[in-house]
Amino acid sequence: MDFLKNIILKKEILGNNKLIKNTTSLHVAFGIDANFTIGTGVLIYSILQHNNNNMVFHIFTDSIYPEDVSRFKKLTSTTHNIAIIIYYVNPINFSQLSTSFIWSQATYYRFLINTSLNNITDKILYLDSDILCINSFKNLFQLDFKKNILMAVSDFPEMLSYSKKYLTLNSEFYFNAGVLLINLNNWNYNNISNKAIELSLKNNFKYYDQDVLNLLLANKTLLLEKKYNTIYHLADMNTPISNDTIFLHYSGSVKPWQSWGQYHFLTPLWLKYKNNSPWKDVPILQPKTYKQAKFMARMSYRNKKYNQALHWYIKYIFWKIFK
């Protein structure tokens, strides 16, 4: 399939490149655009605080600011047991795929992992960038795939109801694609990346690549414990998380690096890692679009910041009219 041919324009290696083919290294991948770099950086920093293994981080991106590359270099300079590889993606073909104001085409970059890593490692952990690592995940890489292609965590029960109704999914669970441990050999043998692209081009799925992967891998996925992907919506959840949580997933439309996500009791946990990382001087994102202004107005109102809510609601109306 020509879609993925020459899709990686170049790559940049930071840190200890001897770790790339070191059999003791754990490999972790991300698919992002420039807007999610802060999430990726803080996530990598949090991983390093709880894991002493040799680590190789693979970042697939169509855009990244030079100052963020400098921050990644700073991160690698603090320790000799990590390497970061930035893969610069040609985004043209991906513009054919469905996106939204929440999910950009970078969500599909997880389909590129096999093209660059199949000769380096036989398993890799894919992580969304709205995640925080708060415990060690070393044991995850020691689990047996049992002939499966994927390991993932089941999503909320209502997502299974959705999948059975709209996807006619023949499975007892619908998994969340934010944390995926991938058996690359089995993935490649079953040609999953090309099948996923083909399915994405032919359909307009509500949850994009997540729906696609559930359809393709419904009976080839081993379920993980919830601690490996504790899915949490800052917009509408207020329950405490378990002490054994490994990956806290700030899923949904509100993120901890956004000003409208600052009112939640779990945001300070993310900020603690940010403020000790090379991204400590990066300001919290302020609303720049009418949809973001609407989120800001709504979250301000919920937290009884009525004057602030009115201010952002007026901006929302003004920006929407003059979009």
Q: How many CB atoms lie within 10 A of CB 158?
A: 9
Tell me, what's the pLDDT at 2? Answer: 79
Rounded Cα distance, 77 and 81, in Å: 10
Q: Do the beta carbons of residue 145 and residue 124 sit within 8 Å?
A: no
**Section 66-86 average pLDDT:** 95
* Stretch(es) of the chain classified as CATH 3.90.550.10: 2-228
| pLDDT tens-digit map of 230-252 | 999 998 899 999 999 999 999 98
Phi then psi for residue 57, to 5 deg, are -105, 130
Q: What are the CB-based long-range contacts (under 8 Å, 24+) for 312-315?
A: 312/287, 315/287, 315/290
What is the pTM for the complete model shown? 0.95
Please give the Cα distance from 181 to 248 (Å, whole number): 16
Structure tokens belonging to residue 121? 């490692």
Is the confidence at residue 116, as pLDDT, over 90? no
Beta-bridge mates of residue 88 = 10, 61
Does 200 have pLDDT greater than 90?
A: yes
Bridge partners (DSSP) of residue 55 are: 26, 82
Least confident of 30-39, 55-64, 117-126, 238-247: 117-126
> Other CB atoms closer than 10 Å to residue 277's CB: what's the count?
22
Strand ranges (DSSP E) for 184-236? Answer: 221-223, 230-233
The percent of residues above 70 in pLDDT, for the chain, comes to: 100
pLDDT > 90? residue 117: no
* pLDDT value for 124: 96
CATH dotted code for 2-228:
3.90.550.10
Handedness of CA 213, 215, 219, 223 (dihedral sign): positive
Provide the token pair at 149: 């292609």
